[in-house]
Amino acid sequence: MNVERSILIGFLGNYLINTVVAALVAFVPASAGGGVLTPQYISFVVLAVIVVAVLTWWHGANSLKDGITFGAIGFVVAIVTAFITGVAGVLAQSGSLSAVVNVLPNFWPFLANWSTLVLLGYWVIPATLVGWYMQPKGSAM
Distance CA 13, CA 72 (A): 13
Q: What is the pLDDT of residue 51?
A: 98
pLDDT band with cut points at 50, 70 and 90 for residue 141:
low
| pLDDT surpasses 60 at 98 | yes
Global pTM value: 0.90
Choose between 32 and 47: higher pLDDT: 47
pLDDT band with cut points at 50, 70 and 90 for residue 37:
confident
> Which CA distances in Å does 71 have to 45, 54, 58, 79?
15, 12, 13, 12
Distance CA 44, CA 118 (A): 11
The answer to whether residues 86 and 103 touch, using CB atoms and an 8 Å cutoff, is yes
Average pLDDT of the chain is 92
Q: What is the pLDDT of residues 99-128, one digit of tens each?
A: 999 999 989 998 999 999 999 999 999 999
